[in-house]
Amino acid sequence: MKRPAPPAQPLRRVRAWGGMLLVWGAATGIAHLLNHHVSVTVLAMVYLAAVMLVAYVTNRWLSIACAFLSVAALNILFVQPRGAFRVDSTEHAITLVALLFVSLLATNLSSRLRASTRRAVSRERRARTLQHLAASMALLEDEAPMVDAAVKALEADFGQGILALMSREGDLVMHGAMQAPAAPAERRDDAIAHCVKSGHAMGPGTGRWDALATWYLPLRAGESRIGAIAIAAPPQTALLPGAEERREHAQAIADLTAGALLRTRHAAEAARARDQAQSQQLRSTLLASVSHDLRTPLAAILAAATSMQRQADRLDAESQQRLLALIESEARHLTAVTDNTLHWLRVSGDHPVLKMDWEALEEIAGTCIARLRARHPHRHVTATLPADLPLIRVDAVLFAQLITNLLDNALKYSADDVELTAYADDETITIDILDRGRGIPPGDEIRIFETFYRGAVPPAQRGAGLGLAISQAVASAHNARLSVGPREGGGSRFSIFMPLVPSPPTPADEGM
């Protein structure tokens, strides 16, 4: 079994005493060399320099010992009568007393200076700790990493045994673990309750529950108390120099942490309130827009149906067909508006649920084109798709609505034919919808995908401004990108860039 290493404290003491005696012996040797050339006062200065050097390098007690040794050596070795601890001259007596007084004064001042330097260094280090902690917490948005950062900052000064107890919906959530003896659970719970309620530190040296073996520091931000931090601190810790300053540093970390946590909670509450307000505003706008967009076709359908019902005997066949065509057209428009509204509600949430499956783009495109031909019988839509186009993993209903919206939008704003093309490379499947319309005005390339934005449209064109917004949302839900740009020769090009997903193995592949 390996023997433990001997403690380093006694070895440091031996080295310190040895260093002091070495300096004192060097001063005695120099004084012996100068003895026949200078006065006793100059020799006293040599010893004073040695005492000041010891006071600067070591501690107060060694410098005091060096001072008394220096006075004794000067008296015995260099003051008449030599070899005896006796002084015959008043001048020499004053020199010895002055040497002792100045040595002790220098020792005291040096000790105070050294203590002040240590406190300044410690305060600077703690200030840097607070600065770094504040900077790191400013970049964090979750509570758990903030508490972990605070625990690590405290462990750098107090070692292991830090426990943070957070108040969350009436319960205390613990972060960390006490690795040192703490109060019993009942006593600890009472101390935490008093600490959080009063906003004052509890434990040894605080004047509140001094018998505890743990410091309890409140997490306070203004008038808010959101928890406490427990630091293992035996009662004798309160008697050590600088204990109060260390506890104040820990309290500063606790207050900084509480401020960051409260900021995060307020930001989350504000974000929730803002989202609720935006959602309510969006739904109100949707209701108003859809209601306005539904009113006109419903009125047209009602007027046509009423005319056919009340004036059927006075209407010729052509007039009846015209009214039936109007009813069919307006009903299709209502269907399109209803589909867009339902699809928008489905994909506008934070986590839309998609029914993903492997689909052939040719089938989806064929369904969309057939639907549009029924809606626009006098318009022509062509599709150019390669035979080896891979399958795509999509929600067929939503993706068909995406392509339908883009094709319908192209037909609305273009008098010429509309084309649908697709091609694939190693990473992406690109679907283009091409028209020969007047194009997208500069600056509107992004705004046209915003909800309810319609831009400068002809008065005859109806719509709630949902089509392209739904298309963008559906594309995003499929991890695809939808963009628009000018088409060579005039018009617009709407492009869907879908990441290529490996197709499932076919039965022929599985049998190979």
Angle CA 280–282–287, to nearest 5:
95
Residue 112, pLDDT above cutoff 70 = yes
Closest CA to 267 of 175, 143, 174: 143
* CA 481 – CA 397 distance, rounded (Å): 18
* CA 473 – CA 149 distance, rounded (Å): 38
In terms of phi and psi (left: phi > 0; alpha: psi -120 to 50; beta: otherwise), the region of 203 is: left
CATH class of 141-268: alpha beta
Residue 185 has a pLDDT of 53
Q: Where are the domains of the chain?
A: 8-122, 141-268, 291-344, 352-505
When pLDDT is averaged across residues 84-88 and rounded to a whole number, the result is 73
Q: How far is CA 418 from CA 148, 167, 424, 439, 449, in A?
A: 59, 61, 21, 13, 20
Residue 459, pLDDT above cutoff 70 = no
Residue 279, pLDDT above cutoff 80 = no
User: For 312, which DSSP code?
Assistant: G
The pLDDT tens digits for 345-355 are 666 665 667 78
Q: Residue 154 contacts by C-beta under 8 Å, 6 or more apart in sequence?
A: 162, 229, 231, 250, 253
Residue 209 has a pLDDT of 79
Residue 393's DSSP bridge partners are: 358
Q: Residue 177 contacts by C-beta under 8 Å, 6 or more apart in sequence?
A: 163
* CA 255 – CA 185 distance, rounded (Å): 25
Q: Are 496 and 431 in contact (CB under 8 A)?
A: yes
Residue 179 has a pLDDT of 46
Residue 195 has a pLDDT of 82
* CA 31 – CA 51 distance, rounded (Å): 14
Q: Who wins on pLDDT, 393 or 311?
A: 393
* CA 414 – CA 492 distance, rounded (Å): 9
Q: Are 216 and 228 in contact (CB under 8 A)?
A: yes
* CA 243 – CA 240 distance, rounded (Å): 6
Q: Residue 487 contacts by C-beta under 8 Å, 6 or more apart in sequence?
A: 434, 435, 436, 439, 493
CATH topology of domain 352-505: Heat Shock Protein 90 (3.30.565)
Q: How far is CA 177 from CA 165, 193, 237, 290, in A?
A: 10, 19, 20, 57
When pLDDT is averaged across residues 48-57 and rounded to a whole number, the result is 84
Helix axes 396-412, 361-375, angle to 10 degrees: 40
Residue 344 has a pLDDT of 63
Helix axes 60-73, 40-57, angle to 10 degrees: 160
Q: Residue 231 contacts by C-beta under 8 Å, 6 or more apart in sequence?
A: 154, 158, 161, 162, 163, 214, 215, 217, 250
**pLDDT over 90, % of the chain:** 8
CB atoms within 10 A of CB 271: 10
pTM summary value: 0.51
Confidence of residue 92 (pLDDT cuts 50, 70, 90): confident
Q: How many CA atoms lie within 13 A of 265 on its CB side?
A: 15
Mean pLDDT of the chain: 78
Q: Is the dihedral of CA 182, 186, 187, 193 positive or negative?
A: positive
* CA 476 – CA 395 distance, rounded (Å): 12
Closest CA to 180 of 244, 253, 237: 237
